[in-house]
Chain A
């Protein structure tokens, strides 16, 4: 007992001598590291949980960059001719939405389309019949033309269409949308006055699916 106590005092003494001989900066660093380690049992080193997405609900507007988007219904169709012509086994999921550019600058619809995705019941085709992406297309409901430019203050009722590999499985579609932030000046990229996805809390909601043949 007395021998082990003497050994412990020897170890502590050598440690004290070692610490005493270190420069002040190393002492401070060591102290910080020790403090961090001490918080570990209480979750100090755990990953910070991501905040839950803000909800998307039918008929309620959400803000995606310069666009105010209100999804009124979600519908599955065999096609949406003449605007969208899927293959015989494919289906079209339509987000029936009003979209308004509430900013004071014109912008392109692709900025909105890049932020939208659906999941939870099927696979969206890669090419969507109009390009190399699984982003939706934006079709004006009034005349079946595809919208490219949205000027300030102009509102459209759009069919935001996703082509899927087959019939959707289930009665809901999970719609997800990234939130965009306006960057007036970016000294790093010099790409000023643009909307960027900077990882803010996205929108997400499971919306009821209507089926029409």
Chain B
């Protein structure tokens, strides 16, 4: 009888220990956390799958084209050069994240804006991502580039390399008030075409 009670107590204690480990040890973070490489505008960032560089950022209410495309808030146009390093890659994740951690997705409403570029190996791809955002999204804005889409709870980044590039938008209020339209050039592959662009 005493032995049976001891066995029952042992089983209950083992279950409690398992629950405590599940609740208290951040195993999820160890499984999900991406490998983030940070950078700034004009600075190539070496993520494992590609070298990523944001070359220029513009804020505008209008993207030129036929028709010109009006933002619901403002467009943040992010000119980018990306070179896949090891194998052809489709980039599903280009997400603007603001100071509050809110995510904003790229739009293809604007003429020649890009959403999911196909990157050949070793040849630079140059194009623009366009984000239609509200005012507060300019505060502390940065772009996360990843192979997977953001998805629910960032599951597209799981255990993968992510390039985290801070846009350095100083004086967001002044940027918000800009009215000059921006022209977005078509995406191209190759350095010679890039010069022509």
A146 to B104, CA, bound (A): 18
B133 touches A143 (CB 8 A): no
B23 at the interface (CB under 8 A from A): no
Chain B binding surface SS class: mixed
Partner of B109, one of A105, A106, A146, A153: A146
A sample of 20 inter-chain contacts (CB < 8 A) reads A105-B102, A105-B103, A106-B104, A143-B68, A143-B69, A143-B70, A145-B67, A146-B109, A148-B107, A149-B107, A151-B134, A152-B102, A153-B73, A153-B134, A153-B137, A154-B73, A154-B132, A154-B134, A191-B152, A193-B153
B26 at the interface (CB under 8 A from A): no
Q: A143-B68, A154-B73 given as contacts; is B102 within 8 A of A149 (CB)?
A: no
Contact count band on A: 20 to 34
A132 to chain B, nearest CB (A): 21
Which residues of B sit under 8 angstroms from A148, Cβ to Cβ? 107-109
Count how many pairs of residues, one from A and one from B, have CB atoms less than 8 Å apart in the complex. Answer: 63
Chain A contact residues, CB within 8 Å of chain B: 104-106, 140, 142-156, 191-194
Q: A106-B105, A145-B109, A193-B152 are in contact. List 16 more A-B contacts (CB 8 A).
A: A104-B102, A105-B102, A106-B103, A106-B104, A142-B70, A143-B70, A145-B67, A148-B107, A151-B73, A151-B104, A151-B132, A152-B134, A153-B134, A154-B72, A154-B134, A155-B73
Contact count band on B: 20 to 34
B131 at the interface (CB under 8 A from A): yes
B136 at the interface (CB under 8 A from A): yes
A192 touches B152 (CB 8 A): yes
Which residues of A sit under 8 angstroms from B109, Cβ to Cβ? 140, 143, 145-148
